[in-house]
Chain A
Amino acid sequence: MIRDIEQIRSFFPYLQSADSGGRTLIYFDNAATTQKPRIVINAVSRWLVDANANVHRAVYGLAATATEHYEAGREAARALINAASKDEIVLTSGTTASINLLANVYGQRYIKPGDEILLSEGEHHSNLVPWQMLCERTGARLRYFPVGEDGQWDLEAAEKILAEGKVRMVSAAHISNVLGIVNPVGELTALAHRYGAHIHLDGAQGIVHAGIDVQSIPCDFYSFSGHKIYAMTGTGVLYGRRSLLETLPPWMGGGEMVDTVTYGKTTYADIPLRFEAGTPNFLAAATLRPAIDFATSVRIPQVHKNEEEMTEYLMRELNSIGGMRIIGSGGKKVPLISFNVEGVHHSDIATLLDKMGIAVRSGQMCSEPLLNKFGQTGAVRVSLAAYNTMRECEAFIAALHRVLKMLK
């Protein structure tokens, strides 16, 4: 049983480390990737020794062990989102790969010229460019429903577009990586289905701060990355509802995704292996199990309370700064806050914070259209994880005041 945040911190070697001046570093870029707990680091180094063989192929013991670990990663992902079956979990290299895979196979099977794909205005490039590419290939049309000034979805506008009857697929972020607001994905799912469209939810941030039960919010597809929930980089998931996933053709061809191959013709494997051509990143995927176990174990009231308090504190302190503009101020806010200060460039803020040992993100955050919509060329973003503390937030605010004094 995990007691408190300090105990959580003790699991992360990075958080115990310090820079050359003996200063503990503050890591506030968790929306990009999280630091790794010892249980994940140790598992990888152990498996490199005693479970390193290619999966789903050979009969010898080592290969069987590797396959078990890989499949345990898949099962952990299934349990995390409460999918009905492990066959509905396609392992990928990350959210971007999941969405590219989906746009390709779904597009092949379901998209014709004149069809429409509906996104929100709040999407990052990973949930925008693959659909744009699909539209260019097929002659389908990409549409967007608006995000309000406070960052919240305009569902009425979404419904109007859906009611026109041409939308085949809706794809939208559970939580935007810029706005940090939990979107009403249940309502959007119901709307999409009411008008006969399929729906994919981009859970890159949602899996971290909201979680999903794909049986109670019956989306057709959900994608997320493992490395944002403490697993190794190069891990991701595309969940697809079985009845739909089974209708989709493969995308990449190669080993593992086949049933039988002759020189003339190939028949394909069942789901999910049909979508996993070639040697997967099996060691990384296997870390989904310890990482998800860990992520689940820290979903405790103390962590929720701490995250809520930190979010509230940061919003209050940031809002008290002159010229502050928070992008995504409304709705149910998670500890992911993007902002700009009038007359000061985001990269200057991030550069000076870095000199003070605080890692924050700055720039476009792979969301250029969204930032442009808010009249920004970029922003500073702070994003927290279960191991961040109020003390770190206070240090960040103090450092930010110092930085702004230097820059103004």
Chain B
Amino acid sequence: MAETEKTVKQVQQEIVDEFSAFGDWMDKYEYLIELGHSLPVIDERKKLEDRLIKGCQSRVWLDSEYRDGRLWFTADSDAIITKGIISLLIRVYNGRTPEEILSADNSFIEEIGLRENLSPTRANGLLSMMEQIREDALRYKDR
């Protein structure tokens, strides 16, 4: 089953299950680093100032395309853990309709034990990334 045939909740639950298999923080972060390395990167030409997410210690670019009623994301960051975290978000939200994105919650981030990444001062700016995804969804909502 392709990811988009599952609901947002189902994909989030899959991620939670994967993470629950890790014994300690090190395995978890090693996995995030691995995910970071495999993130399909954004087209260099799209690394524009206005797609640079503010509030991150590392530089994060997130770009979206709207095709056939769905949003598709690409991203990049100069920090690998940040890339790993974005890849989780992209896995959940890629190919979703704006409505699906706007009605989703992100409690799975807490469930996989990355809650500390949600605090507003955190270097990787997970909150800002989620906000950007929602903003993009909002932009295409009534089209």
Contact = CB atoms under 8 A, between A and B. Distances in A.
Given A362-B57, A406-B30, A345 B80 contact: yes
Nearest to A378: B57
A363 B57 contact: yes
A347 B29 contact: no
B33 A347 contact: no
B25 A348 contact: no
A355 B81 CA distance: 13
B79 A347 contact: yes
A147 interface: no
Contact of A347 (B25, B26, B30, B123): B123
B12 interface: no
A325 to B, nearest CB: 15
Contacts of A363: 57, 123
B78 A345 contact: yes
Interface string B75-92: 000111110000000000
B59 interface: yes
Interface in A348-372: 348, 350-352, 354-355, 362-364
Nearest to A354: B116
B30 A348 contact: no
Interface in B107-132: 116, 123-124
A362 B123 contact: yes
Interface in A330-352: 345-348, 350-352
B74 interface: no
A346 B56 CA distance: 12
A407 interface: yes
Nearest to A345: B79
Contacts of B26: 355, 406
State the main secondary structure of chain A at its contact with B: helix
A350 B29 CA distance: 13
B7 to A, nearest CB: 31
Nearest to B58: A347
A346 B25 CA distance: 19
A355 B114 CA distance: 11
B33 to A, nearest CB: 6
Given A347-B123, A363-B123, A377 B78 contact: yes
Contacts of B29: 351-352, 355, 406
Query: Which of A346, A351, A362, A406 has its CB near the most chain B CB atoms (within 10 A)?
Result: A351
A348 B57 CA distance: 10
Contacts of A348: 58, 79-82
A351 B82 CA distance: 10
A323 to B, nearest CB: 15
Contacts of B33: 406-407
Interface string A396-408: 0000000000110
A352 B33 CA distance: 11
Contacts of B82: 345, 347-348
A321 B66 CA distance: 46
A75 B80 CA distance: 50
B121 to A, nearest CB: 10
A352 B79 CA distance: 12
Contacts of B116: 354
B8 to A, nearest CB: 27
Contacts of A351: 29, 81, 123-124
Interface of A: 345-348, 350-352, 354-355, 362-364, 377-378, 406-407
Given A351-B29, A355-B25, A363-B57, 15 more contacts: A345-B79, A345-B80, A347-B82, A347-B123, A348-B82, A351-B124, A352-B81, A355-B26, A355-B29, A362-B57, A378-B57, A406-B29, A406-B30, A406-B33, A407-B80
27 contacts: A345-B78, A345-B80, A347-B57, A347-B79, A347-B81, A347-B82, A347-B124, A348-B58, A348-B79, A348-B81, A350-B123, A351-B81, A351-B123, A351-B124, A354-B116, A355-B25, A355-B26, A355-B29, A362-B123, A364-B57, A377-B59, A377-B78, A378-B57, A406-B30, A406-B33, A407-B33, A407-B80
List 3 A-B pairs, minimum CB-CB distance, nearest first. Answer: A345-B79, A347-B123, A347-B57
